[in-house]
Amino acid sequence: MTTTTRRIWDDFLTERDQQVLKVAGYGKRGGFGKRPALFIIDVQYNFCGDTPQDILEGLKQYRTHCGKEAWDAVAHMVPLLELARDRKLPIFYTESGRRPDLIDSGVQVGKNHRGTEKTVIANTHPTQTVEPLAPRPEDFRISKQKPSCFFGTTFMSQLNFLDVDTLILVGCTSSGCLRATAVDAYSFNFKVVIPEEAAFDRFQASHAINLFDLNCKYADVIPSAEVAQYLRELPAGASGATAV
């Protein structure tokens, strides 16, 4: 369906980019499956801040801070989470944290300054999911140390057990963990859906261009309202198995 709705990436594309997009055939809608799961990626205090705050102020507390846009995105995640709970869908969370000596950060220590900072330690306030999205006992919590939630975790086996065919990804960052997970999900032949307003990043250009690239090749980046409508129309317990 042709649309004239302006997208977040339009201001970042050159005239040539726009022409290539029209001719090359990228960005076709992949569509929804029948057995979705909601996946909340790294929506922690060290990325969001304790309260909505301008990013340059927030960086004084957490060098992983993504600005007030993080809390704007959380506001779009909350109704999607409520719908997923109402439809009894599987809900996954990532918990990205390090051990106290930070040795499990690996090469990240050499790549950026935040690799050695104590705001990344597991089981501390900075690495907790923000309270409006707090996980419940029946949810699935994935501990990871690398960008993709598939790497070195039990995520794939849980998706197989639950017979999931569609991943709805929200969270951060659009250029980092959300992107890496989306590309791996696509590689494993899952349908991937990203509600545009429910993703965020610290760099405005990175956020826009990564959503553009994901929408071109790996995922449907669509309005949150459209994802919400899809969830409302699902039968309760659409996945093939439930937690006990």
Place of tokens 């309005």: 223
Q: CA-based diameter of the chain, in Å?
A: 53
Catalytic residue chosen out of the listed positions 48, 149, 172, 177: 177
Q: Is 177 assigned a catalytic role?
A: yes
Alpha-carbon span 87 to 159, nearest angstrom: 17
Residues contacting residue 235 through CB under 8 Å, at least 6 positions apart: 87
Place of tokens 């499990």: 104
Q: Would you name the residues annotated as active-site residues?
A: 177
